[in-house]
Homo-oligomer: A and B are copies of this chain.
Amino acid sequence: MAFKLTLYVFILICTGISARSRRHLQWFPNVTPMIQPTIGEPWPRPQQMKTYATQFYLDPVTFRFNGSSASCDVLTQAFERYYLLIFESNSARGFGRKRRTVRGTPVLQGMAVKLEKPCQVFEQPSLEMNETYTLDVNSNYAQITATSQWAALRGLETFSQLVHDKNGILVINATSIVDWPRFPHRGVMLDTSLHYIGMPTLLKNLDAMEFNKFNVFHWHMVGDYSFPYQSESFPEMSNKGAFNPYTHIYSQLDIATVLAYARLRGIRVVPEFENPSHTLAWGKGQPGLLTPCYTHGKPDGTLGPIDPALNSTYDFMTRLFTELTRVFPDRYLAIGGSEIDFYCWQNDPEIRKFMKEKGFDDDFVKLEGYYYGRLFDVVSSLDRRVSVWEDSLDSGVKLHKEVIVQVWRGGDTDYPQRLANVTSQGYRTLLSSPWYLNYVQNPYSKQDWKTFYMVNPRNFTGSEKQKELVLGGEACLWTEYVDSTNVLSMLWPRASAVAERLWSAKDVHDVDEAIHRLTEHRCRMVGRGIPAQPATGPGYCKQEYMYT
């Protein structure tokens, strides 16, 4: 046995070293056992949860949701959605009305949702929304008590995950849950400018986000390579800047669809119109917006960032952002600010002249600060707030104190210092550094979700007050090598690790426990139509994904 163990350790080390040349890990006589999925365990894990042995049977014929009202479209539609998720993605069997037990199991007649605050028509999810709920299954009527309609959605999702198949009938264990998110901002950032992502895929992704209690879709819509946003004020920008002005755009109807679909799932849509860099595609339909680049004192025909020296720039930004605030209801806009290269600003004689007038000397950080100052004025006048990437703070630009700074540098090793830096200056922050899902970490073992999972967004040196400035984080997917063919399998269930990190309590960090729930959760998503890839090794789902 000792020999066997030694040999095993030796093999593990060797296979670690020559990882690429090995075929699979399990050539030892006793192969790595398949990960056993849990049965009816929720993901992300609730804050407080007790489960009891008593079970209740759910009958698709008699089961009822109660508690909505005509003004509460969010809840009414959620009842329809969760009825289908519970009874159609499982193999449900109905035994008809007025039975008190089925095969000896008492019948759960329905689910009553009580809102502590009545629904308001057209209410939008927000950074401040309350998502705290309780869920009780202990009599023949289950109950959710929710602080808001958004909280009710989280409770319904948990409820749907507790229901499970038992020898061909659907049951739920008696359960008592008190639950709330650790962080108020739990996002997925998806870029749709490097490759276009079609509407069916965007909507499926919102489904998957709801299954993971994500509440922010950070939509990095436009960029250097394409401008798919079909603007009412500037139609030429997508006519000339989209990959194709008919097939590769997001029309106002598309966007309204995404917004409505997301709202019904309690998901905020925060659009990003990144500037002043990464804006090459903007320039195609808006001549004069970008800085002409000079080489040897002459324009070389290429274009750089947005030109901060022209008044026309700010006129344009005012009109564009006025439109955007009409289209997107969220209080927050992401306005970019990453990776600004000063080269073209430095070589443009007009900008040089402008800087001299302003007394900036040769300090291009001052120019950058000037640009942001004017842009923030525009956005503030529209009663909106902004988030930016951390770069401008790094380069020393003075930002307004209400700006949210998104930390994306430093990978999974240096993010604590970066969070400490941003919060020490008093800024609220979002963490993304360790959650760049376009990078496949551990390409051999593939289980990079474990790395994502072990991050702690408050694990840095700083005061309690600083730690409270961490609003949450976002899993990011840049799409250089991603489009509708692979975006959903790249994101899911890898983003699920981030989802649990941002929702569940700090002390939920046992990978060996989580792996079983994640295995169930992955198959649950597959059963609900999301092509979530295997993430925990060999195995199978009761319902496999089917290409149609």
* Chain A residues near B (Cβ < 8 Å): 1, 4, 7, 18-21, 23-31, 34, 194-196, 198, 200-201, 204, 224-226, 243-244, 247-248, 277-278, 280, 293, 295-296, 302-305, 338-339, 341, 343-344, 408-412, 414, 433, 436, 439-441, 443-444, 446, 478-486, 488-489, 526, 531-535, 537-540, 542, 544-548
Contact = CB atoms under 8 A, between A and B. Distances in A.
A303 B28 CA distance: 11
- Copies of this chain, whole number: 2
A482 B531 CA distance: 11
Contacts of A31: 224-225, 280
Contact of A483 (B303, B440, B542, B544): B544
A224 B26 CA distance: 8
A178 to B, nearest CB: 34
A34 to B, nearest CB: 6
Given A484-B545, A548-B548, A1 B538 contact: no
Q: Which of A28, A225, A302, A546 has the most C-beta atoms of chain B within 10 angstroms of its own C-beta?
A: A225
A293 B1 CA distance: 12
Given A29-B304, A444-B439, A538-B225, A544 B196 contact: yes
B341 A28 contact: yes
A82 to B, nearest CB: 22
A305 B7 CA distance: 18
21 contacts: A20-B436, A21-B408, A23-B408, A23-B478, A26-B224, A27-B338, A30-B302, A198-B547, A200-B546, A201-B547, A247-B542, A439-B444, A440-B440, A443-B443, A479-B534, A481-B533, A484-B544, A484-B546, A485-B533, A486-B531, A486-B533
B545 A485 contact: yes
Contacts of A293: 29-30
Contact of A411 (B21, B243, B277, B341): B21
A534 B34 contact: no
Main secondary structure of the interface of A (DSSP, over half): loop
B338 A23 contact: yes
Contact of A343 (B29, B303, B484): B29
Q: Which of A200, A411, A478, A533 has the most C-beta atoms of chain B within 10 angstroms of its own C-beta?
A: A533
Contacts of A1: 295-296
Contact of A484 (B247, B302, B547): B547
B480 A538 contact: yes
Given A433-B21, A540-B196, A535 B485 contact: no
Contacts of A444: 439
Nearest 7 Cβ contacts at the A-B interface: A27-B339, A485-B531, A243-B540, A486-B489, A194-B538, A440-B443, A446-B481
A339 B23 contact: yes
Given A533-B485, A545-B484, A439 B433 contact: no
Nearest to A242: B540
A534 B480 contact: yes
Contacts of A195: 534, 538-540
Given A1-B295, A486-B489, 14 more contacts: A20-B412, A26-B224, A27-B339, A28-B341, A29-B293, A29-B304, A196-B540, A201-B546, A480-B538, A483-B534, A485-B526, A485-B532, A485-B533, A548-B548
A480 B526 contact: no
B198 A544 contact: yes
Contacts of A25: 480
Nearest to A434: B20
A408 B18 CA distance: 13
Nearest to A442: B443
A225 B545 contact: no
Contacts of A28: 341, 343
B480 A248 contact: no
B539 A488 contact: no
Contacts of A338: 23, 27
Contacts of A482: 533-534
A529 to B, nearest CB: 9
Nearest to A345: B29
A450 to B, nearest CB: 13
Contacts of A18: 411
A347 to B, nearest CB: 10
Contacts of A532: 485
Nearest to A539: B195
B537 A481 contact: yes
Nearest to A296: B1
A540 B30 contact: no
A481 B443 contact: no
Contacts of A436: 20, 23
Nearest to A443: B440
A286 B486 CA distance: 40
Nearest to A338: B23
B29 A480 contact: no
A537 B280 CA distance: 16
A23 to B, nearest CB: 6
